């Protein structure tokens, strides 16, 4: 009957909720040990100049190799890490790891590029970001301009005065700042010129739909804003030649996406770049 079918549907829904909750609680518990057990690793995705096919930068993306569940996406564990505060020691570790790796690649003359790390709002609330960045650079013997912090519009809008102050100090170290997923948040354009930001990253949602003329209008305007504010612009989620042609025609030349390469482990980056010093090809 309709009534029992409805009941069953609720039961399935409840069971799914339970499974979801159980997994979340399990991940939360395991996350506390993951750092000391060395279960995190970074993958790196190239940012390429479409005209020369040269790699001009990389983004470091976090992965968690869970002992029984396998590799877990940051989309699942970052929110848990943020809720529990674990994101702070994890990001501290990642900053040191990325700077160490970058130093190594530079010493081997495989590439000399700036590598970006994604920031959670928690890093700015903790008031310890500056010290962590400075430590990571010093330990690796790396110059500040080889490290970039990717922040989202929501971070930029959260306690703006204090965030801007922290970013200013970080930039005095040479560290670069980019606005990630630009165009998807609700930040006011009115203060973008006052933000200590070097680069705008066009969100992949726009790039994915760049055959649609209204999305083309938005992309063109993001590129124009970046140019007028003397910022650089990077397109994210680039997968096709058609997207590349369009972006280039509107003045965006730096691309990140599966077309140029998926995020790769340090070993995979090694095999791809050691025969091509300084990123002479993508
Ligand atoms: P994001 O910073 O915007 O990173 C881009 C995401 O898009 C990455 O997913 C990347 O693998 C994916 N991507 C890149 N190119 C393409 C493409 O051509 N097509 C498609 N469909 N996807 C593409 P990932 O690695 O799963 O990361 C997801 C999000 O997790 C990141 O978005 C970032 O917000 C967050 N995240 C990752 N690592 C960290 C971290 O260390 N700290 C913090 N706070 N957040 C992180
Ligand atoms: Mg990012
Ligand atoms: Mg992004
Ligand atoms: Mg994103």
The preferred substitution site among 44, 74, 234 for testing ligand 1, maximizing ligand atoms within 8 Å of CB, is 74
**Do 196 and 168 form a contact (C-beta atoms < 8 A)?**
yes
142, two tokens: 């790396």
Q: What is the pTM of this model?
A: 0.93
Ligand 1 atom nearest 150 alpha carbon: 2
86 pLDDT band (50/70/90 cuts)?
Answer: very high
Q: Which residue has the tokens 């140019």?
A: 227
Look at strands 176-182 and 199-202 and give their pairing. parallel
Binding site membership of 30 for ligand 1 (Cβ less than 6 Å): no
Residue nearest to atom 6 of ligand 1 (CA): 237
The preferred substitution site among 61, 79, 90, 241 for testing ligand 1, maximizing ligand atoms within 8 Å of CB, is 61
| pLDDT single digits (tens) 176-224 | 999 999 988 877 788 899 999 999 999 999 999 999 999 999 999 999 9
* Mean pLDDT of the region 242-264: 98
Neighbours of ion ligand 3 (CB under 5 A): 180-181, 236
User: b/e string for 183-205 if b means 16 or more Cβ within 10 A?
Assistant: beeebeeeebeebbbbbbbbbbe
- State the ipTM, two decimals: 0.97
Binding site membership of 261 for ligand 1 (Cβ less than 6 Å): no
Asked if residue 2 has pLDDT above 80, the reply is no
């Amino acid at each position: 009957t309709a009534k029992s079918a409805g009941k069953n549907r609720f039961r399935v829904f409840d069971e799914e909720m339970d499974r979801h909750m159980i997994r979340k609680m399990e991940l939360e518990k395991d996350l506390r040990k993951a750092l000391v057990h060395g279960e995190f690793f970074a993958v790196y995705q190239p940012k390429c100049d479409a005209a020369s096919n040269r790699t001009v930068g990389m983004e470091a993306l976090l992965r968690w190799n869970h002992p029984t569940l396998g590799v877990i996406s940051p989309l699942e564990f970052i929110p848990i890490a943020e809720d529990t505060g674990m994101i702070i020691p994890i990001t501290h570790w990642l900053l040191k790891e990325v700077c160490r790796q970058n130093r190594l690649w530079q010493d081997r003359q495989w590439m000399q590029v700036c590598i970006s790390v994604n920031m959670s709002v928690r890093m700015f609330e903790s008031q310890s970001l500056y010290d962590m960045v400075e430590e990571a650079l010093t330990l690796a013997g790396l110059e500040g301009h080889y490290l970039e912090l990717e922040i989202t519009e929501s971070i930029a809008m959260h306690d703006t005065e204090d965030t801007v102050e922290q970013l200013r100090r970080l930039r005095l170290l040479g560290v670069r700042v980019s606005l990630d997923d630009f165009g998807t948040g609700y930040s006011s354009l009115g203060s973008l010129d006052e933000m200590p930001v070097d680069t705008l990253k066009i969100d992949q949602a726009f790039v994915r739909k760049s055959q649609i003329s209204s999305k083309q209008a938005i992309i063109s305007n993001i590129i124009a804003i970046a140019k007028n504010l003397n910022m650089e612009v990077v397109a994210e989620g680039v997968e096709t030649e058609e997207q590349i042609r369009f972006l280039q025609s509107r003045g965006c030349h730096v691309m990140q996406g599966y077309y140029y390469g998926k995020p790769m482990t340090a070993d995979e980056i090694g095999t791809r770049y050691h025969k091509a010093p300084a990123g002479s090809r993508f």
